[in-house]
Amino acid sequence: MIASHLLAYFFTELNHDQTQKIDKYLYDMRLSEETLQEVSQRFGKEMEKGLGADTNPTASVKMLPTFVRSTPDGTEDGDFLALDLGGTNFRVLRVKVSDNGLQKVEMENQIYAIPEELMRGSGVQLFDHIAECLANFLDKLNIKDKKLPLGFTFSFPCHQTKLDESILVTWTKGFKCSSVEGKDVVSMLRKSIKKRGDFDIDIVAVVNDTVGTMMTCGYDDHNCEVGLIVGTGTNACYMEEMRHIDLVEGDEGRMCINMEWGAFGDDGVLKDIRTEFDHEIDMGSLNPGKQLFEKMISGMYMGELVRLILVKMAKEGLLFGGRLTPDLLTTGHFETRYISAIEKEKEGLQKAHEILTKLGLEPSHEDCVATLRICQIVSTRSANLCGATLAAVLRRIKDNKGVERLRSTVGVDGSVYKKHPHFARRLHKTVRKLLPDCEIRFVRSEDGSGKGAAMVTAVAYRLAAQHKARQKILEALKLSHEQLLEVKQRMRIEMEKGLGKETHAEAVVKMLPTYVCSTPDGTEKGDFLALDLGGTNFRVLLVRVRNGMRRGVEMHNKIYSIPVEIMQGTGEELFDHIVHCISDFLEYMGMKGVSLPLGFTFSFPCQQTSLDEGILLKWTKGFKATGCEGEDVVNLLKEAIHRREEFDLDVVAVVNDTVGTMMTCGYEDPYCEVGLIVGTGSNACYMEEMRNVELVEGEEGRMCINMEWGAFGDNGCLDDIRTEFDLAVDELSLNPGKQRFEKMISGMYLGEIVRNILIDFTKRGLLFRGRISERLKTRGIFETKFLSQIESDCLALLQVRSILQHLGLESTCDDSIIVKEVCAVVARRAAQLCGAGMAAVVDKIRENRGLDFLKVTVGVDGTLYKLHPHFSTVMHETVKQLSPKCEVTFLQSEDGSGKGAALITAVACRIREAGQR
């Protein structure tokens, strides 16, 4: 008993000594964690090089775009064919993908041989043979009459330009067909099929086997965004952000990159970690100096590395008693599968003995232990290096997404990964060590080159079908030039109705006279007060207008809040509060007791009968003060001033904010005769000839008309261009049926239109994988400012995703692109409609004056116009197209409701003084 224990102990010690001896001998092959981190970083830099347009030509890691833009989402459906050509055999497959809640894939396939003479014959013969085998397969399954989509796995180095176009760079793996290199393999296959004429298929995609691996796993695991192959050769692919891929146009979305990472190190970046054995293997290979990384890792070379080490150690008398045999000296005689056998837990040493004996050696126990250790070191290095580069890929994905922790899946295939007893475990361990802040799952791919090709095709089909369905829905929101001209003409008709005495009562565009009869001419001067009441806050301003050399406007203001109880109390309380605020302001400015002319911006619907009289028609925006509707607000203000008996003010003008906008810009630019607001709401005003303003006596001169154009369409004249989404937004608004034009163009509603479209898309399964979140059902959650943010050009899709996440919407990259497109369509239509309205206004001014050509400036204010990245551009273009005889300049107004009111007062005072003179 004790003897056997001693013996066991003796052997363990012996094994330990032998292992240490080998570890020392192969010290350079055992890579520390620091070295692996270093390799990982270098690989990251090589990836950058391959992606850059300037650096790609000299990069060793080519980073080829595959034009595969999306991974499966599980809703793929249909019948597909796949063709797999990558060696001496090729396969034809039929893959049925069904999504009835239970993702299911059924496959049938047939293997066909490629005779030796065809591999060396002409390209035409090769593709004719493939077409014939395809016909045979379709015959057998009785589906020759169907036109099925096909995915083509073509595992040779190719330069891809589209999903269905792939130029063969060079043949490998013993193929030498003439006149194929430099040509598109898809069009060659198409020609061969067309020539036969007995069947037709739709070749949708050419795929590399690595991409197929990622797609196959992606069907079962939607987090899968990396494909890895470690077999005879090695390669990887992953989903990269389009904005980083210089070689392909466009910045939206992602694309799978076929890295061709076997060539890592071909430019010398791995020379410090390559050993003498690596050099020897490279020198003896078919492609010296090429694929150096692959030669350190893949199945084709691993066995050979072990053989070279055994030979060298034997030559140095460290193994086999210094004996060499012809078998051991023959290249390729130590196969990679031997490594897997020798490293098996239980029977490893036994296997080592058998294999070495087969090579004509008489191995001792120590020789077997040493061989086992050599195998472990070679295969561990392979797994570690593979883990280091994979970690670089995953780190890049993590940085691209800007997340704290990355959760991702890697689809893996290849004999080394699948058959070696410890390779997978060691690879996972290295990745975990190098990326402690990531949760990475590894999934073994089943038939990536067959099923994968079909998956790429299925995804391409799904994307095309969904794209078509979405475009059909969005079509209704895209307005043609003819439609916009029609809107312009209708606006013109409604304007005429509003101006006419007979038609004014039933007109929807009210065309209210403002009694502002002149724009600034630059001679205005003096101190003016302005009040601005249009919401829950209220401003008092002192505006100093100078003329002459120091021409300009200097402003001081103070903001006061209006408590809810005052907004909803009595009119007396409201106006007493306003006067109290004016008194406080005058004291603050040290101007108590000074009597100044005052302009009052009162942004509620009013009917004016003179410049200083405005009858409140109805309160809006939450105001409910009693005893005001139907009264003149200037009177109410004057009475409150008298009640206070502290100061006296000369109320000169009541103004609407749109008119204020025109006046502010008119001070800077004498051509400014139009005001436009596109913010929360929308409205416009312009200078009309008095002879056309039938509601006011007098024919001479001009008067500014406050159009109140938001109500355009309330009589049904825009019904043919309103969509189901507009109707839905209108129905749920506070004033159904009213302000229809405003609801199609202004900031208050655009986000709601977008939200309704997104819900419709989701219900149809075209977005968010068909899942409607509770948040998306909430009215008003999609604020218009998000439209501006989402459409901003510098915004990566990443930020679009974070906006959507903030809204509780889990989105994929594709979803983000779709949301961005919907926002663009809705905002573009708004800008075009606004432009059509504007075109009607400027053309009316031109025709009023009998001019062939009009030069005019529009003063503009409003958050949508100022903050949205494309609104103003699209609107300007539309006006230019619809009113070619007008040269329209747009000027952004600064503080139309404050400064504007003061300028109107200044102009009125100037005219009054001139009249007195």
Q: Give me the active site residues, please.
A: 539, 603, 657
Strand partners, 559: 539
Strand partners, 598: 529, 651
**Alpha helix stretches (DSSP H) within 202-334:** 209-220, 276-283, 292-297, 299-315
End-to-end CA distance of the chain: 133
**Alpha helix stretches (DSSP H) within 476-537:** 481-499
Q: Which of 390, 377, 388, 391 is nearest to 302 (CA)?
A: 377
- Amino acid identity, residue 160? Q
Question: 773-776 contacts: CB < 8 A, separation 24 or more?
Answer: 773/808, 773/809, 773/810, 774/808, 775/807, 775/808, 775/809, 776/807, 776/808, 776/809
DSSP state, residue 467: H
Residue with tokens 């001209």: 485
- Amino acid identity, residue 759? I
CB 708 within 8 A of CB 683: yes
CB 555 within 8 A of CB 532: no
CB 803 within 8 A of CB 790: yes
Q: What angle do CA 99, 104, 107 make, to 5 degrees?
A: 125
Question: Could you give the CA distance from residue 295 to residue 311 in angstroms, rounded to a whole number?
Answer: 19
DSSP state, residue 548: G
CB 759 within 8 A of CB 772: yes
CB 415 within 8 A of CB 333: no
Q: DSSP per residue over 162-183, as a string?
A: ETTEEEE----TT---BT-TTS
CB atoms within 10 A of CB 172: 13
Q: What angle do CA 580, 581, 584 make, to 5 degrees?
A: 90
Q: DSSP per residue over 595-640, as a string?
A: --EEEEEE-S-EEEEETTEEEE----TT---BT-TTSBHHHHHHHH
Strand, helix or coil for residue 510: coil
Question: Could you give the CA distance from residue 716 to residue 727 in angstroms, rounded to a whole number?
Answer: 12
CB 674 within 8 A of CB 835: no
DSSP state, residue 122: B
Strand partners, 158: 168
Question: Could you give the CA distance from residue 104 to residue 125 in angstroms, rounded to a whole number?
Answer: 37
Burial of 74 (0-12, 13-18, 19+ CB in 10 A): middle
Which DSSP helix (H) or strand (E) runs through 6? helix 2-25
Question: Could you give the CA distance from residue 771 to residue 255 in angstroms, rounded to a whole number?
Answer: 24
CB atoms within 10 A of CB 44: 16
Strand, helix or coil for residue 847: helix
Residues 6+ apart with CB under 8 A from 492: 840, 843, 844
DSSP state, residue 729: H
CB 334 within 8 A of CB 375: no
CB atoms within 10 A of CB 356: 25
Provide the token pair at 292.
């150096």
Strand, helix or coil for residue 22: helix
